[in-house]
Chains A and B, each alone.
Chain A
Amino acid sequence: MNGGAFSLDVPAEPLNLGTARTFASRVAAHFGCADDTVLDLKLAVSEACTGWIAVAQGDERVVRVFVRPDIDHLRVEVTGSGSIGAAAPGLEGGGPTRLELIRSLFPDAEVGPSDDGGVAVRFSVPTRG
């Protein structure tokens, strides 16, 4: 297993959500994640990135998707600035927040400060190996 890590930085713009999802899913597929897990990861990454991008307001913010393989899982970190504790527009008052949605997919998901002063969502994604 490759001991390296993979990181993608993209401008915090909605246009780049697909890139972030594709990047994470390709890395996960490479490291043997099941198809359903890869789909869950795409959703989790999209939700996390959206939380940052939705409040970026066109400034020069960056969203980072970081994937580090470990023995039997991938450690995923999505870093930005903003709040993913909010519900998606249209779901306020009735639906889950983005963080709750991520936790329904990856129960160990947590939010905390990132090394660069931003905010990070971190969770583990199981691999087959």
Chain B
Amino acid sequence: MTPRLRIVSADPSGVRSYRTSSESPFKTCHPKVSSTRAGGQMGVSPSVHSWTSTIVPSAASFIVIVEAFGEAESSWALASSTAIRRSSIESTVSAERAATLAATERRMWTTSGRAGTATTTGEAGEPSGTETYTRRSAGPEVLAIQLELETRTEGDWTILDVVGEVDLYTAPSLRDKLVSLIDGGAMRLLVNLVGVGFMDSSGLGVLVGGLKRSKERGGDLALACPEGPPLKVLSITGLDKVFPVYRDVASALRS
């Protein structure tokens, strides 16, 4: 199933511009909405009722299909995205032709209206139905949320530096690392969450599991966690009273 972003009903009081970043399939799903009508930006006719961007990721590239639906008014000049070579397809044709385009980080385009169906243009004044282009991604890496785990020792503390976001996707790697450290003999383990920008209950569950495992082996597990999202979720759940929590690594080492 392809991720699909749909914006329902454009602002009837004026023109809204939509611009997407095509750094990755994921970021392309996040439109930046601006109220300026500027050349080179996609203008959506006030009477366009919906605008859909469908992202079709594949191994080495992704395809963005832009369709707008609604009654059309005047058209705007084509955007200055001259690096793009796009294929234009009549609205009656459901097939898609992929086109290559230069590797640029932001795509901007304008639409011209055409009654009834898709309203994107390939060249200025050239009507088209659905506009499809393919961007080759920079490499096989996908800009999904990553988690960095580094281990170091300070005195008798084993410090696990965690950087990134901890959720259902990344929590297993944190769990595996904690298990490895605890089973490997780390008796005083400090999990440094200073570099964690987000953590949900999946991360909490892993930390609780680590605490239990450590205690079963006669060890300690503490957290270095300043004010921020991880501390908030610890507080909401009351787990800030279960773990020894320090403001930072230095505070823990002084304890």
A32 within 8 A of B: no
Query: A residues within 8 A CB of B11?
Result: 2-4
Residue of A nearest to B169 (CB): A14
Of the four ranges (under 10, 10 to 19, 20 to 34, 35 or more), the interface on chain B belongs to 35 or more
Asked if A4 meets B29 with Cβ closer than 8 Å, knowing A43-B229, A105-B236, the reply is: no
B198 within 8 A of A: yes
- Chain-B contact segment, one of A45-53, A74-82, A108-116, A118-126: A45-53
- By the criterion CB–CB under 8 Å, are B204 and A9 in contact? no
- By the criterion CB–CB under 8 Å, are A5 and B9 in contact? yes
Asked if A18 meets B26 with Cβ closer than 8 Å, knowing A3-B11, A60-B1, the reply is: yes
How far does the Cβ of B229 sit from chain A's closest Cβ, in whole Å? 5
Residue of A nearest to B11 (CB): A2
A to B CB contacts below 8 Å, 28 in the list: A3-B11, A4-B7, A4-B11, A5-B9, A7-B7, A9-B3, A9-B4, A14-B167, A14-B169, A16-B3, A17-B168, A18-B26, A18-B167, A23-B5, A26-B32, A30-B33, A43-B233, A50-B202, A53-B168, A62-B1, A88-B200, A88-B201, A88-B205, A89-B205, A90-B206, A91-B205, A91-B208, A101-B233
Interface residues of B, Cβ cutoff 8 Å to A: 1, 3-12, 16, 26-27, 29-30, 32-33, 142, 144-145, 165, 167-169, 198, 200-202, 204-206, 208-209, 229, 232-233, 236-239
Interface residues of A, Cβ cutoff 8 Å to B: 2-11, 14-19, 21-23, 26, 30, 39, 42-43, 46-47, 50, 53-54, 60, 62, 87-91, 94-96, 98, 101, 104-105
